[in-house]
Structure 1
Amino acid sequence: MAESAGSATHMIEAHGVCKSFGETEVLKNVDLTVNRGEVVVVIGPSGSGKTTLIRTFNGLETINAGRIVVDDITLQDATTIKRGRIDRNVLKSVRLELGMVFQRFNLFPTLTALENVMQGPYRVRGLPKQEAAARAEALLARMNLAMKASSYPHELSGGQQQRVAIARALAMQPRAMLFDEATSALDPELIGEVLDVMRNLAADGMTMVIVTHEMAFAAQVADRVVVMDAGRIIEQGPPDVIFKSPAQERTRSFLRAVIDRKAE
């Protein structure tokens, strides 16, 4: 059984998390707590550890030190580190509660949009097929994709594929969502439609951790912005503070570089 070791107000907790790939330290003693209903946006230069951090939250990456608690379930700690793996039942319990949307859409190419969305509820949650299909139809409609239900991934634009991927994650009725650069693989004109979906989720109160380079979007939706650099969290706070008067020079130089790139 999954071990309860968290807080009623905290959805995700990372305590002293360290992660290395070979000799390269990617995460260095990271502490981060995400409250239920909170939207936390993680920003920082490439290679700062943002993606690795959120991948530790659902066990896609195992940690070398520290502790991670998700929805009051201890996912990773000294015991799992010593064992070298996460208990399968604990991992399943956490992944049922954490939806994740990746840079690439990872849709099943031989399944329609509807079939992609209904797979999780039907095969993992054990929902009756008709009920899973009805849930998938409702989510595709919510994504403005009702007319694309019978389309295959290769018949959809990148933005449409990503919205199907979001619908697929939501079909599992997770308690929180992780977004790893969900718009980075999209053409610029398609980014807006995916960001609109994420804005709506934030407005609905979904707990979210979002890794993104879209600073205007971050300023709009974030309750808190977390800045990472070289495997550490160097500062965090409300978007007005981080974007208008950051405390760290490294944050200021990063934001200047992002703005300069956008202006090119």
Structure 2
Amino acid sequence: MRNKDSSDGGENMLLQVRGLYKAFKGNQVLSDINFDVEKGEIVSLLGQSGAGKTTIIRCVTGLERPDRGSIAINGRFICQEQDGKMVYATKKELYNIRRDLGMVFQSYHLFPHMTVLKNVTLALTDVHKEPAAEAKKKAMDMLTSLGLADKAQSRPYELSGGQKQRVAIARSCVANPKLLCFDEPTAALDPKTTQEMTKIIKDLAAEGMGILIISHDIPFVKEVSGRVLTVENGKIKNL
């Protein structure tokens, strides 16, 4: 697949989604989805369960293949239409694209048998093949910045929901992605921890990271976001 630069985006554009359609077993889930995320911007997709926002983020992260449309991350295409046909990134191209992409899942997806430190360093050492000492330093710096240095040798079951969320953020940010996606980041958090999460996300954006959030938490989304898009019945609109 030819990963040419996206033609209508500038150097600040991290994510471009154009004309996205997706159906499952004949049921249309997404219809003509269009939006962008720039460097340092926080964009939220707000909608109820079943609206289509989870399918959007799964397409953006390459976990689902759209039926039509294009998705470009940092100028490189995950998918696009060429000569009336959908063309998808190869496995190698997708690996390189995902180096610019981080994902924080709603259920955190931490490995329960591993320490916090091992959870954070695993991708660096096993996927990116970084030396263990270098990976450990990066991980400890990240954990320190998130107030978790004292939890490095703890296991996930010893942590609160907010601490697990911060470990998941540390794991996603340690490889320095340009775009970070959050799936329902406040779903299991109390109001105080939600405020802490809001500050963390704003701080990441202030450092130049693009943030894409999917959520149904209206107060949180309005407080944290620079731009809010509503998703209803597989379609998107500005709020």
The normalised TM-score by structure 1 is 0.82
By how many angstroms is 1:2 displaced?
Answer: 5.9
- In the alignment, the residues of structure 1 paired with residue 190 and residue 75 of structure 2 have an alpha-carbon distance, to the nearest angstrom, of 38
Could you tell me which residue of structure 2 aligns to residue 19 of structure 1?
22
| Residue 5 in structure 1 maps to residue 5 in structure 2 | yes
Query: Does the aligned pair in 2 maintain the 1:140–1:164 contact within 8 Å?
Result: yes
Could you tell me which residue of structure 1 aligns to residue 149 of structure 2?
146
Amino acid paired to 2:143: L
Moved more, 36-45 or 148-157: 36-45
SS in 1 for 2:99: helix
Larger relative contact order, structure 1 or 2 (CA cutoff 8 Å, min sep 6): 2
Amino acid paired to 1:65: R
- 1:60 pairs with 55, 60, 63, which one? 63
Could you tell me which residue of structure 1 aligns to residue 170 of structure 2?
167
- 1:229 pairs with 225, 229, 232, which one? 232
Comparing both structures, which one devotes a greater share of its residues to strand? 2
Could you tell me which residue of structure 2 aligns to residue 41 of structure 1?
44
Query: Does the aligned pair in 2 maintain the 1:178–1:208 contact within 8 Å?
Result: yes
Count how many residue pairs are aligned between Structure 1 and Structure 2.
235
Within a 5 Å distance, the mapping from 1:174-185 to structure 2 comes to: 174-185=177-188
The normalised TM-score by structure 2 is 0.90
User: What per-residue deviation string (whole Å, max 9, x for no partner) do you get for residues 1-20 of structure 1?
Assistant: 76123132321111110011
- In the alignment, the residues of structure 1 paired with residue 15 and residue 144 of structure 2 have an alpha-carbon distance, to the nearest angstrom, of 30
Could you tell me which residue of structure 1 aligns to residue 210 of structure 2?
207
CA RMSD after TM alignment? 2.0
Query: Does the aligned pair in 1 maintain the 2:76–2:97 contact within 8 Å?
Result: yes
User: What per-residue deviation string (whole Å, max 9, x for no partner) do you get for residues 78-103 of structure 1?
Assistant: 36x95786410111011111100111
User: What per-residue deviation string (whole Å, max 9, x for no partner) do you get for residues 75-130 of structure 1?
Assistant: 11236x95786410111011111100111010111110011111112222222110
SS in 2 for 1:41: strand
Query: Does the aligned pair in 2 maintain the 1:3–1:73 contact within 8 Å?
Result: yes
- In the alignment, the residues of structure 2 paired with residue 91 and residue 27 of structure 1 have an alpha-carbon distance, to the nearest angstrom, of 22
Within a 5 Å distance, the mapping from 1:235-250 to structure 2 comes to: 235-236=237-238, 242=239
Moved more, 138-147 or 5-14: 5-14
By how many angstroms is 1:136 displaced?
Answer: 0.5
Comparing both structures, which one devotes a greater share of its residues to helix? 1
Gaps of 5+ in 1: 237-241, 243-264
Amino acid paired to 1:40: V
Structure of greater Rg: 1
Within a 5 Å distance, the mapping from 1:66-215 to structure 2 comes to: 66-78=69-81, 86-187=89-190, 190-215=193-218
- In the alignment, the residues of structure 2 paired with residue 82 and residue 228 of structure 1 have an alpha-carbon distance, to the nearest angstrom, of 26
Q: 1:219 to 1:83 in 2, by over 3 A?
A: closer
SS in 2 for 1:94: helix
Q: 1:43 to 1:83 in 2, by over 3 A?
A: closer
Identity %: 37
By how many angstroms is 1:205 displaced?
Answer: 2.9
- In the alignment, the residues of structure 1 paired with residue 2 and residue 159 of structure 2 have an alpha-carbon distance, to the nearest angstrom, of 39
